[in-house]
Amino acid sequence: MAKLHFLYSVMNAGKTTHLLQVRYNYIENGGHVLLFTSVIDDRFGIGKVKSRLGLEADATPLRKEDAIDALVAAEHARRPVTAVLIDEVQFMTADQIRQLAWIVDELRIPVMAYGLKNNVYGTLFSDAIVALMALADDFQEIKQLCHCGRKATMILKYDRNGEAVRSGEVVEIGGEGRYVSVCRPHWTAGDIGPAARQLLAQPVAAE
Catalytic residue numbers read 88
Report phi then psi at 115, rounded to 5. 175, -175
List all residues 6 or more positions away from 57 whose beta carbon is below 8 Å from its beta carbon. Answer: 20, 23, 35, 48, 49
186 known ligand binder: yes
Helices (H), 29-117: 68-78, 94-107
Report phi then psi at 113, rounded to 5. -110, 125
112 known ligand binder: no
13 known ligand binder: yes
29 known ligand binder: no
15 known ligand binder: yes
Q: Which of 160, 187, 163 is nearest to 175 (CA)?
A: 160
81 known ligand binder: no
**Alpha-carbon 113 to chain mean position:** 8
**Would you say 98 and 131 are in contact if contact means Cβ atoms under 8 Å apart?**
yes
89 known ligand binder: yes
161 known ligand binder: no
Residue numbers belonging to the annotated binding site for ATP: 9-16, 87-90
